[in-house]
Chains A and B, each alone.
Chain A
Amino acid sequence: MSNEPRIGVYICHCGTNIAGVINVEELTEFASKLPNVVIAKNYQFMCSKPGQEMIIEDIKQHKLSRVVVAACSPRMHEPTFRRCVQSAGLNPYLLEMVNIREHCTWVHEHEPDKALEKAKALVATAVARASNLEPLEEKELPVVKSALVIGGGIAGLFAALTLANSGVKVYLVESSPTIGGKMAMLDKTFPTLDCSKCILTPIMNEVANHPNIELLTYAEVVDVQGSVGDFKVKVLLKPRYVDPTKCKACGECAKKCPASAPNEFDMGLSKRKAIYLTFPQAVPTVYTIDPKVCLYFTKRDRMGRPICGVCQKICPAQAIDFNMQPKTVEINVGAIIIATGFETFDPRLKKEYKYGVSPRIITSLEFERILCATGPTGGKVLCPPDWKEVPKRVVFIQCVGSRDLTVNVPYCSKVCCMYTAKQAILYKERVPDGEAYVIYIDVRAAGKGFEEFYRRAVEEFNVTYIKGRVGEIVIDPETKKPIIRVEDTLAGCMIELEADLVVLAVGLRPSQSTLKIAELLKVSRSPDGFLQELHAKLYPVQTAVDGVFICGCAQGPKDIPDSVAQAKAAASAALEILAQGFVRTIGHVASVDKELCSGCGICVSVCPYDAIAIKVEDGRRVASVEDVKCKGCGSCAAACPSGAMQQRHFKDIQLMPVIKTLART
């Protein structure tokens, strides 16, 4: 048999996705005449069983040595067709896919002639490349059966629990002193009005006491090396200045502590001491000293001695240790789940809403704290800042920092309609003679029991809904009360509404930790700023980085049930790798032609993975690639001055025919 490649070309109709735009018969006819093409066929769904069987049959019957499939993106079905040709005895890397759907018929729907011309060029290119493809080998590498979960909110907790219950060792890293996340700050949850803490704290305790979970709170991921199956992660443990093994959380220290700061947990509506426990059920139940506020760290007397240290003197457990230093621990994991959550939109960006100008204008999360029994008022609905007056008219303004291009937020934050209905109901429960108004653009109540819940707010609790976008809020110079100016678009009239309290239903933004971790792990972000999943429908918790998964509000705004469901999905996706026990290496790694290599070492300097070394062989300096370390970027191949360094599957002899064919046709 001659060494000429024998190529089979298979053109997929993809129903009407491809065949509805271009003439697939003409394309097949064209392909059949290309050099080295032995057979060219088209079929309705090439990825279907009959489609694949046709290819397998042809490989055997026509002794095909290369297969070209013109169909969807290789990011979709390359694995399918690689398996297909492999089952017929062909090396999987001898398959070439042509993307005539995403890159052609779908984007040139209204120009069928030009689309066909382009499809022909793309098929000709693939045939030219296929002739020069080479069989490649993949290796199997062992996987470290442990996982890192970043973020201890409800999503991170469930991701950690799911993995831990499956026998995986889990490291749960949380940047604040306690796990629980934003859910711990909520009073009740919609649409059932479950007490948020009552359903959350048992989960927190389960996580803390789980033998497979190692909790790293007040900690940050600072460095990640390695790749799927074997990540090496550095975690910085910030000093609490309180020994967690000794602290009994008696609280004597906080009683005596003279320094205080705005309490983050109450959104700054109350004060906490420099030594504090975030909330009574915090996990771990250990006090933390804030060195930015603590007088031991901030003030010295004339002799240069710290002016305070009272907590250390009175602590019955002798848990205070001012000399505690930041510590870095290294952990080794096979998979990583990001659950770094959200932040609320900063309403100061909507100047016309006067947030920060009047204390009577607050955010929904601040109102949540006012409603909460552990909040600044013990759950009594009172107006800040002096907490004396019961607000008799509360106006909720929706879509603050959602669906608003003036602040560059085109998306819907998904949860605000329902939490506003919830807050209005809770307000009316506590102040039955008060009036609650909700100013909305649309009420979006898609979800189990959501529409019913919203109707309850209107019908059972007499909450008044006004459709319109608030133009501005002005402060009455005499009463100092906010006046809302809005056009009621259903009634078609301007309304001025004086309120005792205005609650801005702020939207959700990716948290600062989410942005940081995305950069560290090289996970892409979508235009809205949240983490980008690998595929919106099929791989919603996977990312383009193998072994890194996402869940919860780090991926996009969502409510608690969705966060929990996604967390479990992320955990199960991680388990696929961890349970299998090995990962397959790639075939498209770098390789050196030792005859050509002069040992200059430029490739060594450009490799981001230290995969290349210069070795002396037979008295000559030559580059040598460690296949397992190489991730297949091809940077070294582009840098090599002699062409000795090549990237397998993307060699010069494989890419140049592609470029020439495309440039000519």
Chain B
Amino acid sequence: MSKSEFEPRIVVFACNWCSYAAMDLAGTSRIQYPPNVRIVRVMCSSRVTPEMVLTALAEGADAVLITGCHPGDCHYLVGNYKTLARYTLLKNVLDELGLGDRVRLEWFSAGEGERFAQYVRSFVEEIKERVVNLQASTPEGGR
């Protein structure tokens, strides 16, 4: 499959207060981004468990993006620090499995609709490239 044909599926976890609002703002401002992302709303990024991320990957998602408020801005005071701690542990495991580059953690404030769209554009491109390269280099197709 060539890069242009392949459409990755990316599961995005968004916190209700900052990053989900940023995604809403991207919509209200009609900032276009690729339709490959599917957003799951939770109240705080700290609700996201490693099992959820692994389930998404196991069930067919090509990548997972966890998003939350910027450090210091968490609606629940310190939730995003817990997210960061969990992500760091999870990332170690994923790196061992060769899946480290498929899971990302990124902060978006409620005002960063444009930045979210930009991020998605480049993340989708990156995942496309990686998966297509992997498919070319492995007989099973790499997914």
A-to-B contact residues, CB < 8 Å: 73-75, 99, 101-104, 106-111, 114-115, 117-118, 121-122, 125, 519, 522, 524-527, 532, 536, 544-545, 588, 606, 608, 631-635, 637-639, 647, 650, 655-656, 658-660, 662-665
Contact = CB atoms under 8 A, between A and B. Distances in A.
Interface of B: 7, 9, 11, 16-18, 20-21, 23-24, 26-28, 30-35, 38-44, 46-49, 52, 55-61, 69, 72-79, 82, 86, 109-112, 115, 117
Contacts, number: 155
A633 B27 contact: no
A660 B73 CA distance: 30
B5 to A, nearest CB: 13
Nearest to A537: B28
Contacts of A118: 35, 38
B73 A637 contact: no
A106 B30 CA distance: 5
A544 B55 contact: no
Given A633-B75, A635-B82, 13 more contacts: A103-B27, A106-B27, A107-B26, A519-B72, A519-B73, A522-B73, A524-B109, A606-B46, A638-B49, A647-B43, A650-B43, A663-B55, A664-B59
Contact of B117 (A107, A638, A664): A107
B21 A544 contact: yes
Contacts of B24: 73, 75, 99, 102-103
Instruction: In the A-B complex, list the 6 residue pairs whose CB atoms are closest, starting with the nearest.
Output: A102-B27, A634-B47, A663-B59, A526-B111, A633-B76, A633-B44
Contacts of B27: 73, 101-103, 106-107
Contact of A650 (B9, B42, B56): B42
A658 B13 CA distance: 11
Contacts of A107: 26-27, 30-33, 35, 117
Chain B interface helix/strand/loop/mixed: loop
B75 to A, nearest CB: 6
Given A109-B30, A109-B32, A608 B38 contact: no
Nearest to B76: A633
A541 B113 CA distance: 20
A662 B47 contact: no
Given A525-B109, A606-B82, A635-B46, A99 B32 contact: no
Nearest to B15: A633
Contacts of A606: 46, 82
B52 A659 contact: yes
B43 A99 contact: no
Contacts of B9: 662-663, 665
Contacts of A114: 7, 35
B69 A633 contact: no
B79 A633 contact: yes
A659 B30 contact: no
A631 B16 CA distance: 13
B124 to A, nearest CB: 12
Residue of A118, A660, A663, A664 contacting most chain B CB atoms (<10 Å): A663
A524 B42 CA distance: 18
A634 B55 contact: no
A544 B110 contact: yes
A634 B46 contact: yes
B28 A522 contact: no
Contacts of B41: 74, 99
Contact of B111 (A109, A117, A527, A660): A527
A111 B21 contact: no
Contacts of A103: 23-24, 27, 39
B110 A635 contact: no
A522 B75 CA distance: 6
Given A102-B23, A103-B27, A633-B46, A532 B59 contact: no
A203 B31 CA distance: 44
Given A106-B30, A121-B38, A660-B55, A608 B109 contact: no
A634 B43 contact: yes
Given A527-B111, A638-B48, A662 B69 contact: no
B79 A635 contact: yes
A118 B39 CA distance: 10
B66 to A, nearest CB: 11
B75 A122 contact: no
Contacts of B52: 655-656, 659
Given A106-B28, A659-B59, A638 B46 contact: yes
B110 A608 contact: no
Nearest to B114: A527
